[in-house]
Amino acid sequence: MDSNATGNTAGNEAGDAAGGETGQVAVAGGGVGDRRALPVPDGLDGLRLDAVIARMFGLSRTAAAQLVDDGQASVDGTVRGRSDRVGAGEWLDVRLPPPPNPVRVAAEPVPGLLVIHDDDDIVVVSKPIGVAAHPAPGFTGPTVIGGLAAAGYRVATSGAAERQGVVHRLDVGTTGIMVVAKSERAYTALKRAFRDREVEKIYRALVQGHPDPSSGTVDAPIDRHPRKPGLFAVVAGGKPSVTHYDTEEAFRAASLLSVRLETGRTHQIRVHMSALRHPCVGDLAYGADPVLAGRLGLARQWLHAAQLSFAHPADGRKVTFTSPDPPDLAEAVAVLRRQS
């Protein structure tokens, strides 16, 4: 958020200084958006076009990339690709989408959302499949925050309205342990702990084949996929990302791993395992075999947040919370055991 704010300020100053143009135009997908034309600030020299647009106009990288893909951005009068590098002083012409409707938290019961622990500072849940951590534009399904609200739990008021109390997230298709802050001191302490890598996060992942070595560390930077919107990849110059894994059990076609995250990038385990050519079973977006997934009855990636350990915000004592494999993942492993 800080980088977006900084980029936005830099962009506005550059536009004011150069007499940047603004106006309203129709944009792809309907509605009316703003046209902005201004030079690229010195501080963004050499960055990717989608990154420059995201930082100058306060958009997410996904939204900025989609805008470029839709032909709503040009550099010096030429439509460029999202991964093209742009230089300071080049003239950027962007047609911004209309502002989205405000995202609101809907207090709706979430079947399968299990509260594991609750006290004055935190509530720990086991998140089921198909549930997002919090509301987001374009997502209309159930959320952890909405489910807690429906069950009468109050959460911290820190953070954006739709993300209040949220200190970390799990993918919609990933099940397992999540902690939500109820008090303001818990929100501050847990956000800092996750940022400083003081939280131990253990996942279980069933991956295709047999990683060699059977235990190891993947240290490879991750950024948005250069060609596939919504996905991520190992990319030179991406954010530092470190994943430690140990093989717990090997089957004929797959291996069950215990995975510890040193960093917490979006899709990190899925990206790193795919980069090793051992994608999570059922993770079709990252190259998994659909035949094996079908044979095991999996409709999503075999990935589960099994354990979370951290210093309790109230008194600093270490607390650990665990979640067993959900039925669909447990059954897939049972099938492999019977066939091995």
Model pLDDT for residues 53-100, shown as the tens digit of each residue? 999 988 888 889 889 999 999 999 999 999 999 999 999 999 987 766
Residue spans of the domains in the chain: they are 37-96, 105-196, 198-339
Residue 300: pLDDT above 60? yes
Q: How far is Cα 56 from Cα 67, in angstroms, rounded to an integer? A: 13
Could you check whether 37-96 and 198-339 share the same CATH topology?
no
**Dist CA 150 CA 167 (whole Å):** 20
* Residue predicted with more confidence, 201 or 43: 201
Closest to 173 measured CA to CA, from 240, 230, 221 = 230
171 counts as catalytic = yes
Residue 76: CB partners within 8 Å, gap ≥ 6? Answer: 90, 91
Residue 92 near residue 85, CB atoms below 8 Å: no
Is pLDDT of 29 > 80?
no
CA-nearest of 110, 103, 187, 191 to 148 is 110
Which residue did the predictor score with more confidence, 18 or 39?
Answer: 39
pLDDT reported for residue 13: 35
Query: Could you tell me the CATH superfamily of domain 198-339?
Result: Pseudouridine synthase (3.30.2350.10)
pLDDT at 8: 36
Q: Return the residue matching tokens 């990252």.
A: 286
Q: Write the pLDDT tens digit of every residue in 169-183.
A: 999 999 999 999 999
- The torsion angle over the Cα atoms of residues 178, 183, 184 and 190, rounded to 10 degrees, is -30
pLDDT (average), residues 146-172: 92
Q: How far is CA 312 from the centre of its chain?
A: 24
User: pLDDT confidence of 101, banded at 50, 70, 90?
Assistant: low
pLDDT of residue 102: 66
- pLDDT digits over 192-244, tens only? 999 999 999 999 999 999 999 999 999 999 998 988 988 999 999 899 999 99
Please say if the pLDDT value at position 253 is more than 70: yes
CATH class entry, domain 105-196:
alpha beta
Q: How far apart are CA 277 and CA 234, in angstroms?
A: 12
Catalytic entry in 34, 84, 93, 171: 171
Identity of the amino acid at 152: G
Q: Which residue has the tokens 């947040």?
A: 305
What is the Cα gyration radius of the chain?
22
Query: According to CATH, what is the number of the domain 37-96?
Result: 3.10.290.10
Is the pLDDT confidence value at 10 over 50?
A: no
* pLDDT score recorded for residue 136: 83
Q: Do 318 and 311 meet the contact criterion of CB atoms below 8 Å apart?
A: yes
| Burial of 247 (C-beta count, 10 Å sphere; 0-12/13-18/19+) | middle
Copy the structure tokens of residue 339: 């066939």
Q: Which DSSP category does 78 fall into?
A: B
